[in-house]
Amino acid sequence: MSGPLNGIRVLDLTRVLAGPYATMILRDLGAEVIKIEQPGMGDEARGVGPFKNGVSLYFMSINRGKKSITLNLRTERGKKIFLDLVELSDIVIENFRPGAMKRLGLDYESIKLHNPKIIYAACSGFGQTGPYSTRGAYDMIIQAMGGIISITGEPGRPPVRVGASIADMTAAMYTVIGILSALHHCERTGEGQLVDVAMLDCQVAILENAIARYMASGEAPQPLGSRHPSFTPFETFETQDGYAVLAIGNNNLWEKFCAEVGCPELIHDERFKTNALRTKNYNELRPILADIMTTRTTDQWVEEMEKVGIPCGPINTIDKVVQQPQIQAREMIVEVEHKSAGKVKMAGIPIKLSDTPGKVEAPAPDLGEHTSEVLSELLGLSNEEITKLWEDNVI
């Protein structure tokens, strides 16, 4: 395994998305991730489509390169094996509802007795504390409760969700940041700790200027379609053949734009002289720009604006996204070979490190694919002992 986290071992009890996405990042950066799954059923994401030859491409994309072992944590023998693995590991991560690990006797307080250096990360909907702590949550609920839905979409239209599970993935990224900062502390002091990340907290953390706007005005920000709340013009326009996004973030760009499109009179128009004025007089400016933007195709706009250095881009559908030369050059679509599913394409690693780059090097594991390997190599169990564990439904 290559990458800056080479040598770090992660025991991964997570399922579905937030947790597995976090351990995917750790694995991409070189950590060894041992995914511990319930015998028989495993991570429920294995059953979520789309499928290729019976294999979930969804599961594949977020569990690439991990090892899978089955282990029944409700049995004493299963708990013992888990704790033996804890002694050999750096990080434990789980995304159960708060309380579940305690009922198993495997909460942080219990397991740190077996390894005081362990970093124990718990990623949940609402966190390990507070009145909502034990409530169930899914991305969609958290997007709704966390406010992002209230500022996304068209004014006066029904609510829309962010089209990817942003609440899960944001929590995953914050969990990784928490783990790596705790790892830094541990390396200096030899002390592990609990990393408690709530999806709801993370949504509040990414509301950006919406909180500042609310605190300043006392009014809850509303959805603005494709428009930015503080910059104008900074939005989508219809072109001759589709849409283009224009992002004019300062007066210099505004003047360049007006000159380029043959409307120098706009530069001197008192209503539009500054960003603050353009934002204030948006309703007067929008139709003027909308007319201008229908005079060329999206590709023409992108090319012309690129020449004069004005940020402008197309709205890419996913097929266009993955074909972009920049995405190809950055190796942001990678391929792994799976024995049943064949070649599978997925997103690459967005962290480019000059000396210890990570690598997407293997497909997701089958359920329990590495059980024997891990138990024999790490814990020294014999074939007979492993067979007995199978027979006793421990693994």
Query: Which CB atom, from 73 or from 327, has the smaller least distance to its own copies?
Result: 327
* Torsion from C-alpha of 356, 12, 42, 84, nearest 10 degrees: 120
In the complex, least distance from residue 388 CB atom to its own copies, rounded to whole angstroms: 33
Give the integer Cα–Cα distance in Å for 373 and 67.
Answer: 10
Query: Residues 140-165, buried b or exposed e (16+ Cβ, 10 A)?
Result: ebbbbbbbbbbbbbeeeeeeebeeeb
CB of 139 to its own copies, least distance (A): 8
Compute the least distance from the CB of residue 221 to its own copies, in Å: 6
Q: Which is nearer to its own copies, 190 or 380 (CB)?
A: 190
User: Of the two residues 218 and 380, which places its CB atom closer to its own copies in the complex?
Assistant: 218
For its own copies, the closer of residues 211 and 259 by Cβ is: 211
> What's the min distance (Å) between Cβ of 315 and its own copies?
5
- Using the minimum distance from each CB to its own copies, give the nearer residue, 6 or 387: 6
Q: Is 300 helix (H, G, I), strand (E, B) or coil?
A: helix
Could you tell me the two tokens for 184? 């830094």
Kindly list the catalytic residues: 228
Q: Is the peptide bond before 50 cis (omega within 30 degrees of 0)?
A: yes
Least spacing, CB of residue 391 vs its own copies, in Å? 29
Dihedral of CA atoms 139, 141, 145, 147 in degrees, nearest 10, equals: 50
Tell me how far CA of residue 204 lies from CA of 27, 198, 212, 225, in angstroms: 27, 10, 12, 20
**Cα gap 121→181, rounded to integer Å:** 12
Of 247 and 379, CB closest to its own copies: 247
Give CA–CA dist 80/389, Å, rounded: 12
Rounded Cα distance between 35 and 93, Å, is: 10
Smallest gap from residue 28 Cβ to its own copies (A): 10
Tell me how far, at minimum, the Cβ of 244 lies from its own copies, in Å. 8
Q: Is 256 helix (H, G, I), strand (E, B) or coil?
A: helix
Nearest CA among 136, 139, 162 for reference residue 149: 162
- Contact criterion met (CB below 8 Å) for 158 and 166: no
> Between β-strands 32-37 and 9-12, what pairing exists: parallel, antiparallel or unpaired?
parallel
Burial of 382 (0-12, 13-18, 19+ CB in 10 A): exposed
Three-state secondary-structure class, residue 337: strand
Cα 347 from Cα 332, distance rounded (Å): 6
CB atoms within 10 A of CB 194: 17
- Beta carbon of residue 81, minimum distance to its own copies (angstroms, whole number): 26
Nearer to its own copies, 104 or 151 (CB): 151
Closer residue to its own copies (CB): 47 or 387: 47
Closest CA to 104 of 128, 129, 74, 82: 74
